[in-house]
Amino acid sequence: MAMMGPTAASPDAYVAALTGWQLALVEQLRRDVLAAAALEERIKWTNLVYVSNGPLCLIRAEAERVLFGFWRGKRLRGIEPRLKPGGKFELANIVLREGDAVGTGTVAALITEAVRLNTELGDPTKPG
- Say what the pTM is: 0.92
**Domain tally for the chain?**
1
Q: Is residue 5 part of a domain?
A: no
Q: Is residue 58 part of a domain?
A: yes
pLDDT in tens, 10-64: 999 999 999 999 999 999 999 999 999 999 999 998 899 999 999 999 999 998 9
Q: Determine how many CB atoms are found less than 10 A away from the CB of residue 87.
A: 11
Q: 56-78: string of b/e by CB count within 10 Å (b at 16+)?
A: bbbbbbeeebbbbbbbbbebbee
Cα 84–Cα 27–Cα 22 angle in degrees, nearest 5: 65
Q: Is residue 72 part of a domain?
A: yes
Residue, of 36 and 2, whose pLDDT is higher: 36
pLDDT value, residue 128: 65
Q: How far is CA 89 from CA 29, 43, 102, in A?
A: 23, 20, 23
67: containing domain: 11-121
CATH number at residue 24: 3.90.1150.200
Cα(124)–Cα(14) distance, integer angstroms:
25
In contact, 65 and 1? CB cutoff 8 Å: no
Q: Is residue 3 part of a domain?
A: no
Q: Is residue 77 part of a domain?
A: yes
Rounding to the nearest 10 degrees, give the CA dihedral for residues 72, 43, 111, 89.
0
